[in-house]
Chains A and B, each alone.
Chain A
Amino acid sequence: MDDFILRAIVAGCGIALVAGPLGCFVVWRRMAYFGDTLSHAALLGVAAGFALGVAPMLGVILTCIAVGALLLGFQSQARVPTDTLLGILSHAALSFGLIAIGFMDTVRVDLMGYLFGDILAVTAEDIAWIYGGAIAVLAVLAIIWRPLVALTVHADLAMAEGIAANRLKIIFMLLIAVTVALAMKIVGVMLISALLIIPTAAARRFAKGPESMALGTILLGMLAVGGGLFSSVTWDLPSGPAIVVVATFLFVLSLLMGPSASQPRTS
């Protein structure tokens, strides 16, 4: 196997490791659009990174944090419905990012790479970043796992029983920001939220509890990375979209295979 494919698989699995458990919370907390908005804001972060002369990854993390803070702030105001707000911010951030990058004619910017990812160009240094970031994100997530699950089950109940909701929401937002920055190079800003959501949806029907669902999501994410890269190399497909397509196949398969007992009761 060629080195660059091996690097791509290792990097992709690192992303699946962190996107799985975080994606579970994105789905449970009905924040799919939130993930989308943060990943779209990443493009603006790339531009900001170039403009300020810092690493794009740092620019992405800082921009995602800023947009996330803006969202949390607006949500507590409740003047604009959250989904409308996300719709506005998501596309505004993407458009601002595209315009800003358009001004960067002095820097050679591979726009397609940022939009749809370039996993086959991953370097050893990227892998170090991905695994370092993944371990840090997973460590924090492990610490806040239980209160975050409680907050997700019933916010009022968790708060009444002493869980600091705002602090948890901010930490969770930071974790997503870091994950977006890590995943951007692999699948690009357009497809990051797909990696958060699709493996999670596929794992739902087999899971008995939150923890087993998170593990299943990691497994399915890695399967999608492997299958996507294989088809990318075999049929010369763009790698990021290929990963997302394989993940989608896995989801459809889960619908056909999943036990009917896990059908949620409608009441």
Chain B
Amino acid sequence: MTALLDLKNVGLVRSGKRILDHVDLTVGEREIVTLIGPNGAGKSSLVKVALGLENADQGKVTRRSDLRIGYLPQRFQLDSTLPMSVRHLMKLTVDATEGKLRAALEELSVGGLIDASVHHLSGGELQRVMLARAMLRGPNLLVLDEPTQNLDINGAVECYQIIQRFRDATGCGVLLVSHDLNIVMAATTRVYCLNSHVCCSGHPDAVSRDPEFLRLFGPVGASTLALYAHHHDHEHAPDGHVVHDHGHDHKHDHPHGPH
């Protein structure tokens, strides 16, 4: 089966600065792929390259021909001169019946906002509406750039459950970006840790049984949240370049990306 999205050896340079370096990334049907990494690691740039909004300077980006994307951007602010209701925003790039539109909003518990002005929404409400909007498109690939920002911890857990339910129901692939280095969805197929290059990638299942993880979240939290054990074979200097330190024991149970 062809992957929805396949990036091979992708590099991106902007203003003389190497933003992405030899990045490999694949998202297939039914897969939930989580991208984590510190601020400025190039997560959003990688998403832009994956979506075709920016052209990679090297490497190859392959998107399946029938790809239908639902996109939740990291930043969304409607220009104050443009009046728009939630209903209108939902139908921005897709036709939908009133019933489907309401169902999509109600799934995110914001059904009551259907006639509200987008300018009057709180950050959390807007985030939910934007997620509902991406799902209303009936995508086979959901690209969510920090979907839990502006949500509290309960809201974030609920949001992850909704994403998982949507994946289960539609079989779409999910590419999810998180600024949080520690918390990823338990349903995640693969985690990529990015810091210009892919520091490490792998299945979070192995680490969800990690004693460290259980100590932090307990068995209840484990059903939704998973701690991705984060062991590097190198340290990052403050300027981001890699400082190798081979003096200690490695705890890798996942393959290490190329540098």
Contact = CB atoms under 8 A, between A and B. Distances in A.
A30 interface: yes
B82 A153 contact: yes
B89 A213 contact: no
Interface in A148-165: 149-150, 152-154, 156-163
Given A152-B79, A208-B117, A160 B84 contact: no
Nearest to A200: B81
A157 B73 contact: yes
B251 to A, nearest CB: 37
Q: Which of B68, B70, B81 has the largest number of chain A CB atoms within 10 A?
A: B81
A260 interface: no
Contacts of A28: 79, 81-82
A258 to B, nearest CB: 12
B82 A152 contact: yes
B79 A30 contact: yes
Given A163-B93, A213-B83, A154 B137 contact: no
A30 B78 CA distance: 12
B85 interface: yes
Contacts of A150: 92-93
A27 B84 CA distance: 15
Nearest to B79: A28
A264 interface: yes
Q: Which of B83, B92, B143 has the largest number of chain A CB atoms within 10 A?
A: B83
Interface residues of A, number: 30
Interface of A: 27-28, 30, 147, 149-150, 152-154, 156-163, 200-201, 204, 207-210, 212-213, 262, 264-265, 267
Contacts of B69: 160-162
A153 B84 contact: yes
| Chain A, interface SS category | helix
A156 B53 contact: yes
Interface string B86-100: 001100110000000
A74 to B, nearest CB: 18
Given A154-B76, A210-B88, A27 B83 contact: no
B51 interface: yes
Given A153-B92, A156-B53, A160-B53, A209 B70 contact: no
Interface residues of B, number: 28
Interface in B125-152: 137, 143
Contacts of B119: 264-265
25 contacts: A27-B81, A147-B93, A153-B89, A153-B92, A154-B76, A156-B51, A156-B53, A156-B71, A156-B73, A157-B73, A157-B92, A158-B92, A160-B51, A160-B69, A160-B143, A161-B70, A162-B69, A162-B93, A163-B93, A204-B83, A207-B83, A209-B84, A209-B88, A213-B82, A264-B119
B83 A153 contact: no
A208 B83 CA distance: 5
B252 interface: no
Interface string B36-52: 00000000000010011
B93 A158 contact: yes
Contacts of A204: 81, 83
A264 B83 CA distance: 9
Contact of A262 (B52, B68, B83, B143): B83
Given A157-B76, A160-B52, A162-B68, 6 more contacts: A27-B81, A157-B93, A160-B71, A160-B143, A208-B83, A264-B119
B48 A156 contact: yes
Contacts of B84: 153, 209-210
